[in-house]
Chain A
Amino acid sequence: AQTVTQSQPEMSVQEAETVTLSCTYDTSENNYYLFWYKQPPSRQMILVIRQEAYKQQNATENRFSVNFQKAAKSFSLKISDSQLGDTAMYFCALRLIQGAQKLVFGQGTRLTINP
């Protein structure tokens, strides 16, 4: 079975600062995808970034980047130049490439960006 752990229930930073959210996971499989989702107060789940486990290069999307350490089973999200609109719950998720397409989510990190 797969598990995803987010050890930071809440984080708070000032606008324009950089913040890193942590995620660790466990799976015995070698091929999988990792995702970060954002859920603002509107509750709409928004895909932020995706990483394929077979790629060594860390994924980036504008101000969002990941630090993927496969051996350590770590997948952190870095948000640069944080903005007020980044305030949301952030969930880390894992999906195996083979077999069921289900997403396994972490517990989430509530991120607040202060003006």
Chain B
Amino acid sequence: SAVISQKPSRDICQRGTSLTIQCQVDSQVTMMFWYRQQPGQSLTLIATANQGSEATYESGFVIDKFPISRPNLTFSTLTVSNMSPEDSSIYLCSLEVYNEQFFGPGTRLTVL
């Protein structure tokens, strides 16, 4: 397994602002993932982040809205830009070890 931490654990933001979520892991991994979990819903993959290359976004998610950085093998950030109340969700980062994905504790975002 792996130890994954996320900052912040929760935040309340005003619409139109941006929030950057950090994900730190305790081991070097090539691929990291960002998921969104809307209230009462399941998890949906936003993008896959490889170190040293541009993130790959899933259908319905765009880089302008969810820019991702992956500066090294243990760290990634997800920014939620120009937020609206519809962006209120839990955002989770994950990584894969031996074909099993492990998740961070999540960031609960509320947009007013």
Contact = CB atoms under 8 A, between A and B. Distances in A.
5 contacts: A33-B99, A43-B106, A101-B101, A103-B101, A106-B42
The secondary structure that dominates the A interface is loop
B105 A43 contact: yes
Given A43-B105, A47-B102, A101 B31 contact: yes
A102 B100 contact: no
Interface residues on A, range: 20 to 34
A51 to B, nearest CB: 11
Contacts of B44: 105
B48 A105 contact: no
Interface residues on B, range: 20 to 34
Interface of A: 33, 35, 37, 42-45, 47, 50, 91, 95, 97, 100-103, 105-108
7 closest A-B pairs (Cβ-Cβ)? Answer: A45-B103, A105-B42, A102-B45, A105-B43, A43-B106, A107-B42, A44-B105
B31 A45 contact: no
